[in-house]
Structure 1
Amino acid sequence: MTSIRLSAHRSALTAAAVAGALLLSGCGGQDDAEANAGGKSGGTRTVTDAKGTKVKVPSAPRRVVTLSEPTLDAALALGYQPIGATSGRGQQTVSSYLEKKATKAEIVATVAEPDLEKIAKLQPDLILLDETVGSKRVIGKLREIAPAVLTSTLKADWKKALVSTADALNKREKAEKWLEKFEGDVRSTRSALGSNSKAETSVIRWQEGGPSVVGKGKGHVGSTLAALGLTRPKNQQGESLGRSEPVSLEKLDTIDGDWLFFGTLEDAASGKKALKEARKVPNFERLNAVKDDHVAVIEGSAWNSAGGPIAARTVLTDVKRNLAG
């Protein structure tokens, strides 16, 4: 991630934006007052964030800004429509798998850093973020705008991150019901795998003319595949060294498996286009998964995301569609 440079000039602009937001809030008409009342009308509650910091938040937040893929994903799964969000990795909008759901979210940050002025102008009553984004470095500045909750650490289990986000939104019971339904669907899908039970599944992202391994470890991809009883190729076991691990075209055979889940940073349409490109690469057509027509084009933005309930559900859906009998 790029470093965040907050110059004195930028800080002054931020302070002005915050002051302007407060002035707008105080001078707005009845509709503005009601829209921006947030949880104030319903009181406040105190939650403890992922670093042990106690944060006073609205009991019924209405103007929520989410500054990471997992917090946006979780908020949407819990029925919230954030007013501000972070752009997806390598994208100008929110991650493409969330684009149709996040219809009201203005882009106010990148994975590297937030735009504090834009956030202040939205007059949020709650800001959610985690350690997957650079916004964590300026959480003090964010708390000058609105209550900001760090929902999870970098390697936190996505299910725990969902519950933490739900706690901040006062929706824990809904999150627990969501997880109960998901785990039931995992069990039923596992029972339906038939001959693909314990299949070796390779997960790669095609970029810049070559493959990168993704979904290693215990994130939303690795944990879902493991829960389904699916195995991974030797070089896709263990924790990942980063967001992805490039594979040399000279070692293309290491991405082979019974099934190859193939995508890009964007949607399935982008994945189909990339697959045509990959088929022109020497030895790609010799992979067993390719010869057996076991290449599954996936919703890559979800598989490659930092995680969340909707992303995990997408992984489950893609596996079920391709492997279940």
Structure 2
Amino acid sequence: MSNFKKLFTLLLTSITLIVLAACGNSSKETSDHKTEAAKTIKHAMGTADIKGTPKRVVVLTNEGTEAVLALGIKPVGAAKSYEGDPWYDHIKEQMGDAVVIGTESEISIEKIASLKPDLIIGTKMRQEKDYDKLKKIAPTVFSETLRGDFKSNFELYSRALNKEAEGKQLLKNYDDKVATTKKALGDQTKQQVSVVRFMTDKSRIYYTDSFSGVIFEQLGFPRVPEQEKFFKDNDKLGKLAVDLGKEAIPDMNGDVLFYFTFMPTGDDSALTTEKEWTADPLWKNLDVVKKGNVHKVDDAIWNTSGGILSANIVVDEIKEIFSK
């Protein structure tokens, strides 16, 4: 009986282990199935069904590229940076051998298809006419616009990439940085800020719906009240920016003035505009210029890139400038 009991115990133990192993495999299969289950993402052009975590991502906007990189994914293809060859200096190492698929305004459908993406990220503002072709290549998610606060677009991309938790943490980190910086700056955030951009043969005042404008607002800086007259919600650019002639230079005044110059790769003609305007007597007569409170900053970081990586850099630079 003793041998029989030993044999029975051994057999029972073996069966138990087999059952546990089977349950473990079943749980793993169930977990894998859940991971790979398609989720429906609502976006500017409708909905997209995305399976699991995309690995081969193509990005059609500069701010979208920053979002993907911040979430730890290197895109297989992306729209060329407005400045750089082909990428902005602050992302070129992370981009590695990513393929250029055109520019934000002119993408190559053929090149995108050749990369065999499992997700395409773009924007209705730039690529609406290409959407029907793109969604036949891979699930495609579009933001509505590239203006204003980058956060809503970032949240959309995080969901599409199955990185929602990571995305929330990155946004929390950014919000914490803004709060800490705002506290550190104290009363300096009461100074009225003016933001100007020099372009080929023209200049603009950038306002509250611009990338830098949103960040200044988050930090608590007021804008110059006299500039409000230039902006109407029903205008093409809304409260993003307004084109102005030299006669409006006096309206560019503020307690502090920041300016950047748009120089897309291979074209530095806007430098001529910058030199011409900053040499003008009206510019030199601005109180903010006389007091030395004018700061030239990088257009790529402060305007065209427009994503979470740049936003963090802008906050750091604002803190540094006001801490001098």
TM above 0.5, one fold?
A: yes
Q: Which amino acid aligns with 1:315?
A: V
Contact kept in structure 2, 1:125 and 1:147, CA below 8 Å = yes
2:218 to 227, 230, 250: 227
Q: TM-score, normalised by structure 2?
A: 0.76
Counterpart of 2:310 in structure 1: which amino acid? A
- Measure, in 2, the Cα distance between the counterparts of 1:251 and 1:96: 33
Find the counterpart in structure 1 of residue 5 from structure 2. none
Selected match of 2:251 from 234, 237, 254: 254
Find the counterpart in structure 2 of residue 291 from structure 1: 290
1:138 maps to 2:138: no
Number of the residue aligned with 2:51 = 58
Is 1:319 matched up with 2:290? no
Alpha-carbon spacing, 1:68–1:60, altered in 2? closer, same or farther (3 Å): same
Residues 143-175 of structure 1: CA deviation (Å, up to 9, x unaligned): 221111124446574211111100010111111
Equivalent residue number for residue 18 of structure 2: none
Cα distance in structure 1, aligned partners of 2:226 and 2:87: 31
Residue identity in the other structure for 2:176: G
Residue aligning to 2:150: 158
Kindly indicate whether the alpha-carbon contact (under 8 Å) linking 1:284 and 1:290 is maintained by their aligned counterparts in 2.
yes
How far residue 113 of structure 1 moved from its aligned partner, in angstroms, is 2.8
Over 3 Å counting, the alpha-carbon distance change for 1:198 and 1:68 in structure 2 is: same
- Identity, in percent, stands at 26
2:64 aligned partner? 71
Of residues 149, 172, 180, the one that matches 1:180 is: 172
Q: Does residue 104 of structure 1 match 2:97?
A: yes
State the SS of the aligned residue for 2:198.
strand
Where does residue 300 of structure 1 map in the other structure? 299
SS in 1 for 2:101: strand
Is 1:196–2:188 an aligned residue pair?
yes
| Displacement of 1:90 | 7.1
**Aligned mates of 2:145, 2:275 — CA distance in 1:** 38
* Contact 1:85–1:94 (8 Å) recurs in 2: no
Deviations 1:171-193 (A, max 9, x none): 11111111111111111111122
User: Residues 153 and 275 of structure 1: is their aligned pair in 2 closer, same or farther, counting only changes over 3 Å?
Assistant: closer
* TM-score, L = length of structure 1: 0.76
| Contiguous gaps of at least 5 residues in structure 2 | 1-31
What is the RMSD computed on CA atoms of the aligned residues? 2.9
Change (3 A) 1:192 1:154: closer
Distance verdict in 2 for CA 1:76–1:282, change over 3 Å: same
What secondary structure is seen at the aligned counterpart in 2 of 1:212?
strand
- Higher Cα radius of gyration: 2
CA distance in 2, matches of 1:208, 1:282: 20
Greater displacement, 142-151 / 230-239: 230-239
**How far did 1:207 drift?**
1.8
What amino acid is the match of 1:303?
W
Who is 1:43 aligned against?
36
Q: Report how many aligned residue pairs link the two structures.
A: 282
Residue 96 of structure 1 and its aligned partner are, at CA, apart by 5.3
Structure 1: how far apart are the matches of 2:272 and 2:94? Answer: 24
Amino acid at match of 1:47: T
Query: Post-superposition shift, 1:302?
Result: 2.7
Check the 8 A contact 1:89/1:265 in 2, yes or no.
no
Alignment of 1:246-285 (within 5 A): 246-266=243-263, 276=275, 278-285=277-284
Secondary structure at 1:76 match in 2: helix
Distance, in Å, in 1 between the alignment partners of 2:273 and 2:96 is 27
CA contact (8 A) 1:81 1:104 kept: no
C-alpha contact 1:94 1:107 (8 A) present in aligned 2: no
Give, in whole Å, the separation in 2 of the partners of 1:233 and 1:128: 36
Deviation at 1:88, TM superposition (A): 3.6
Cα distance in 2 for partners of 1:182, 1:274 equals: 34
Larger helix proportion, structure 1 or 2? 2
Change in Cα spacing, 1:123 to 1:297, as seen in structure 2 (3 Å) is: same
